Amino acid sequence: MKLMYAKPSPFVRKVMVVLEEAGKRGEVELVDGFGSPVAPNDAALANNPTGKIPSLLLDDGTAIYDSRVITRYLDQQFNLGLYPTGAAALATNTLEAHADAMMDACILCVYEVRCRDESIHSPEWLDAQRGKIARAVSALQDSWMDHLNEELDMGQIGVGCALEYLDFRKEMGGWADWRGDHPALDAWAQKFSSRASMQATTPE
């Protein structure tokens, strides 16, 4: 298998964490897919017509994307149990979607700074995305701590990657530090970040 990736991407990181949890990282070739909405990467475009990453090229030539499709595929292939079935599935799937929405808002802030001339930056747009992030973080502490402290699932991996991306891109994205006002979530994130799979996939 070949993974179109860029190390800073939190969506790529989700996939990399799953590979690390499975002990299968060495079985996947990494292909540089770094680009932007205005300058997509050729390798990324070859697998996904939108040019977004991650995408995974299977051994039979099939390309699959986006991150949630890839992580579900890997979970099934390696029998990891990160996506529970039955009643528990709803919470896990919702939490993963919650984390992905946080990542989307973060990346929209980063793209506004990286890809658009400063003279046409939209403060209203940036404030709207930062508002999404702030509300999402508060909701994690208010409503999701019990779930976060349960057995490992894909929702937890998504949240861990999202929170560390907040730290990683805080200066560029311009959002407020989230840790001080959310002590329970901060404590959980510090513990979760010590997992070997998270340590092995730290963004750069």
Is 37 a residue whose pLDDT tops 90? Answer: no
Q: Each residue of 93-152: pLDDT tens digit?
A: 999 999 999 999 999 999 998 888 888 989 999 999 999 999 999 999 999 999 999 999
Cross-strand partners of 57: 2, 63
- pLDDT bin (cut points 50, 70, 90) of residue 8 is very high
Calculate mean pLDDT across residues 166-189: 96
Residue 107 token pair: 């990346």
Is 29 a residue whose pLDDT tops 90? Answer: yes
Q: Each residue of 54-91: pLDDT tens digit?
A: 999 999 999 999 999 999 999 999 999 999 999 899 99
Residue 36: its pLDDT value, please? 84
Mean pLDDT of the chain: 96
Cα–Cα distances (Å) from 122 to 69, 119, 134, in that order, read 32, 9, 18
- pLDDT bin (cut points 50, 70, 90) of residue 39 is confident
Calculate mean pLDDT across residues 149-170: 98
Residue 65 token pair: 């994307």
Burial class of residue 124, CB neighbours in 10 A (0-12, 13-18, 19+): exposed
87-195 architecture in CATH? Up-down Bundle (1.20)
As a whole number of angstroms, the distance between CA 82 and CA 186 comes to 23
Residue 155: its pLDDT value, please? 98
What percent of the chain is predicted at pLDDT more than 90? 91
Q: Which residues contact 18 (CB under 8 A, 6 or more apart)?
A: 71, 74, 75, 80, 82, 154, 157, 197
Residue 95: its pLDDT value, please? 98
- Class of the CATH-defined domain 2-78: alpha beta
Residue 21 token pair: 């949890």
User: What are the extents of the domains in the chain?
Assistant: 2-78, 87-195
Residue 17 token pair: 């964490």
Secondary structure percentages of the chain, helix, strand, coil, to 5? 60, 5, 30
Cα–Cα distances (Å) from 38 to 44, 52, 56, 147, in that order, read 13, 12, 22, 38
What percent of the chain is predicted at pLDDT more than 70? 100
Residue type for position 109: C
pTM of the full predicted structure?
A: 0.95
Is 27 a residue whose pLDDT tops 90? Answer: yes
Calculate mean pLDDT across residues 8-24: 98
